[in-house]
Each structure stands twice: as structure tokens, then as C-alpha cells.
């Protein structure tokens, strides 16, 4: 029984080793003064210095952050509106169909999504660049936000809304003082997930970028094709740390206790 009970833990540990060993290997050699990944010589921060001294790379980093923040904010607003709309659909079959269409963007391969947007932008004569990347990131982020917010809406008791209306709250008050505060953990989780997906995305961005505009994922791919450099290790390590911080923030928000909802009685 003792060995059997330890098998899930051993298996889980093995999975984590497989997942994180390559990342730790990359991080380890980002501090190698030897300039290669074949033998560690001395500890150095030279490659991190090169990252921050590369003006073009810093511009690309700025582009990536702006795209990620804008797409996360816009997709969060659209995703919350979409989740609210789905919960208000009374017909079960229609609601199920809309939810299925929402999930298609999540399960579809990134290559298909990227190629589809490329064909669309080319067909309408839209120049590839900042706008095309932003629209594409919003498109694949909105379904993620919907899936983060929808469970919070479904678990919310209708009696909260009924009580607010009995106390004189109008529709706007119900939305801003009851519904939004209740689903805030889901909203924040959706925002962080959208931000993380945007920062990490390569396949879709690779298809729709152009006009001198680039993001970090595409730039790292281009740098790797020119040859192995530990600058790539340093840059990848920084991206991994930022992504890890976002994931930790997401779990901290999703597990945080809900604040009590308050509303005021209006005098008619």
C-alpha cells in the first residue's frame, strides 16, 4: 500500500522534471561566460547586459508589452460582456451553440488561426503590423476570458440580484455593485491569462506581423536561426520569470477570498 500511494507523487515529480529541466538548463547557461552551452566556465551577467544594451531589442520588448497589455484589457472587457450575454441567453441550445463557437478559438491550432488572419488581412488590404497583431491577439484572448468569467457568473446565486432589486437598485447598480464585484476574481484571472497568452504567443504573431513590427517571440526565433547565442538564453530567462510572476499572480487572485458585497438602500 505504501509503494502504491507513492506512485502518483513519483509520477508527478517525473512530469515536472521533464517539463522544467530544459528551462533550468537554459537558465543555467545564461550565466555562462564561455559563450556556449557545452561547458560552464564562470558566472557572468554579460549576456543580460547585452540584452539591455540592444536598443532594437528594447523597442521590440516595448512593442510586446504594449500589445500584451492592450489586448488583455480589450479582450477582458469583451470577454466579460460576452460571458454576461451568454448567461442571459434563455434558450439552452442557443447558449450551448454560442459557447461551442467560443471554444473553437481555444482548441483550434495556432497555425490555423494565424493563417486565417493572414488571409483575412490580405483580402481586405490591411497592412501587417501593430494593428494586425493586436486584433489577432484580442481574437484568441477573448474566448479565454469568457471561460474564466463564466463559471463565476454561473455560481452566483440569483437571490443576490433579486435582493439588490428589492432594495431599489437599478440595472446599472446591479451590474456595478453586485455582479462585477462578485466576478472580480474571474475577471482578474482572465486578464492575467490573456496577458500571459499574448506575451508567449509565437505561431499567430509570426503569420500576422510585418512592416518592421516584431514581438519578442518572433525575434527570439529569428535570433535562434542566425545561430546559438547566450543572449537568447538571457532573454528567454527574463520572459520565463515574467510569465511565472503572472501565473503566480493569477493563482493568488483566483484563490483569494471574496469581499462581501454591499449595496445601499435608495430613498424613492
CATH of the domain at 240: 1.10.3720.10
Kindly report, residue by residue over 47-101, the tens digit of the pLDDT.
Answer: 888 888 888 888 888 898 899 999 999 999 999 999 988 888 888 888 888 888 8
Q: What average pLDDT does range 17-46 have in this prediction?
A: 84
Q: What average pLDDT does range 239-266 have in this prediction?
A: 65
Q: Is residue 11 part of a domain?
A: no
pLDDT level of residue 258 (50, 70, 90 thresholds): very low
Q: Is residue 23 part of a domain?
A: no
Q: What average pLDDT does range 163-184 have in this prediction?
A: 83
Q: Is residue 3 part of a domain?
A: no
Domain count, the chain: 1
Cβ-Cβ contacts under 8 Å for 224 (sequence gap 6 or more): 232
Q: Is residue 24 part of a domain?
A: no
Residue 228: predicted pLDDT = 67
Q: Is residue 239 part of a domain?
A: yes
Backbone dihedral angles phi then psi of residue 32, each to the nearest 5 degrees: -90, 125
Q: Is residue 21 part of a domain?
A: no
Kindly report, residue by residue over 130-151, the tens digit of the pLDDT.
Answer: 999 999 999 999 999 999 899 8
- Written as one string, the DSSP assignment of the chain is -HHHHHHHHHHHHHHHHHHHHHHHHHHHHTTBTTSSSS----B--HHHHHHHH-HHHHHHHHHHHHHHHHHHHHHHHHHHHHHHHHHH---HHHHHHHHHHHHHHHHS-HHHHHHHHHHHHHHTTPPPSHHHHHHHHHHHHHHHHHHHHHHHHHHS-HHHHHHHHHTT--HHHHIIIIIHHHHHHHHHHHHHHHHHHHHH--HHHHHH--TT---HHHHHHHHHHH---HHHHHHHHHHHHHHHHHHHHHHHHHTSPPPPP---PPP-
Predicted TM-score (pTM) of the model is: 0.78
Percent share of the chain, pLDDT over 70: 91
Residue 158: predicted pLDDT = 79
For 81, the domain range is: 55-254
Q: Is residue 97 part of a domain?
A: yes
Q: Are 165 and 175 contacting, i.e. CB atoms less than 8 angstroms apart? A: no
Q: Is residue 214 part of a domain?
A: yes
Amino acid at each position: 500500500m505504501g509503494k502504491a500511494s507513492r506512485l502518483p507523487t513519483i509520477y508527478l515529480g517525473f512530469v515536472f522534471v521533464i517539463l522544467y529541466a530544459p528551462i533550468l538548463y537554459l537558465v543555467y547557461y545564461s550565466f555562462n561566460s564561455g559563450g556556449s552551452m557545452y561547458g560552464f566556465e564562470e558566472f557572468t551577467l554579460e549576456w543580460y547586459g547585452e540584452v539591455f544594451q540592444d536598443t532594437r531589442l528594447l523597442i521590440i520588448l516595448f512593442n510586446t508589452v504594449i500589445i500584451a497589455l492592450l489586448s488583455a484589457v480589450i479582450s477582458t472587457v469583451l470577454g466579460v460582456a460576452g460571458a454576461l450575454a451568454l448567461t442571459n441567453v434563455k434558450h439552452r441550445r442557443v447558449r450551448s451553440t454560442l459557447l461551442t463557437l467560443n471554444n473553437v478559438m481555444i482548441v483550434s491550432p495556432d497555425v490555423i488561426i494565424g493563417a486565417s488572419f493572414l488571409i483575412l488581412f490580405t483580402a481586405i488590404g490591411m497592412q501587417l503590423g501593430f494593428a494586425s497583431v493586436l486584433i489577432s491577439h484580442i481574437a484568441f484572448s477573448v474566448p479565454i476570458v469568457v471561460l474564466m468569467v463564466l463559471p463565476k457568473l454561473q455560481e452566483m446565486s440569483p437571490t443576490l440580484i433579486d435582493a439588490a432589486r428589492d432594495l431599489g437598485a437599478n440595472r446599472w447598480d446591479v451590474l456595478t455593485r453586485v455582479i462585477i464585484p462578485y466576478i472580480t476574481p474571474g475577471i482578474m484571472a482572465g486578464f492575467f491569462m490573456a496577458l500571459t497568452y499574448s506575451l508567449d504567443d509565437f505561431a499567430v504573431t509570426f503569420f500576422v506581423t510585418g512592416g518592421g513590427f516584431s514581438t519578442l517571440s518572433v525575434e527570439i526565433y529569428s535570433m535562434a536561426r542566425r545561430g546559438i547565442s547566450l543572449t537568447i538564453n538571457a532573454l528567454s530567462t527574463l520572459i520565463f520569470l515574467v510569465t511565472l510572476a503572472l501565473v503566480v499572480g493569477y493563482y493568488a487572485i483566483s484563490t483569494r477570498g471574496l469581499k462581501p458585497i454591499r449595496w445601499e438602500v435608495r430613498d424613492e
